[in-house]
Structure 1
Amino acid sequence: MKARRVVDIVRGKSVDEALAILKFAPQAAAEPVAKVIASAAANAQNNLNLDPATLVVSTAFVDEGATLKRFQPRAQGRAFRIRKRSSHITVIVESVANRGAASGRNRRKGSGQ
C-alpha cells in the first residue's frame, strides 16, 4: 500500500473533510488512514476536550515499519525473498483556534523586523 500518497491528500484539511475524501478514495491505504484520523479526532475530543467540528489535520506523515521476510520457491531449488512491508502512520490534529494562535506567533518571529 502506498500510504504516503493518501496522507498527502488530506494534510491540512479539516477532519470531517478528510474523512469524506478518504471514504471515496480509490487507494487501498485510504481505509487505514481514515481509521487513524478518526482515532486521533476521538482522542482529541475525549482527552483534551476539543470540539470535533474545529479539528484540523495539522501534521500527518508515514514512516517505514517492520518488514516481514518470506521466501517464494522458484525453479531449480532457488528461493526468492518476498518483503511484506508495513508502515507507521502518524496523524496530529489541532483545533483551529490553537492553530491560528501558534501560526501568528511564528509569523511575527520569522519577519525579522
Structure 2
Amino acid sequence: MAMYAIGLSVLQEEISYEKTQVKQVAYADDLTGAGKISELRKWWDFVKKNGPTIGYTTNATKSILIVKPEHYEIGMRLFRDSGVTVTKNGQRHLGAVVGTPEFKQKYVEEKVSEWVKEVGVLPT
C-alpha cells in the first residue's frame, strides 16, 4: 500500500494539472481524474504510457468514464479505442455513487433493500 502511494504521488506530479487540466486523486492503487472529456483522454493516454515506469499499469476493463448525458456521444467517440467503459448513468466509486439523480436513487434503494434482508435474518 505504501509503495503504491509513493509511486502514484510521483505519477501524479508528472501528470500535473498544468499539463492535462485534469483534477486527480489517488487512493491505494486507484487513480481518479475529473475534467473535460478531451483532457481526460490526454490524461488516460499519459497514465497508460508513463505509469508502467513506476509500476502502475492501467486496467481499461475496470476503468469507467462517467459523462453528462449531453456529452455521451463525444465520450464514446474519444474513448472508442481505449477499452474504457463510457456511461451517462453513473457508477459506484470507492463506496459512494457518482451519476444522475435516477442512478443514485436506484443505487440507494438497492442498498437499503439488501440491508433490510440482512437485518431480517438476524435473530429477534
Instruction: Name the structure with the higher strand share.
Output: 1
Q: Larger radius of gyration, structure 1 or 2?
A: 1
How high is the TM-score relative to the length of structure 2?
0.28
How high is the TM-score relative to the length of structure 1?
0.30
Instruction: Name the structure with the higher helix share.
Output: 2
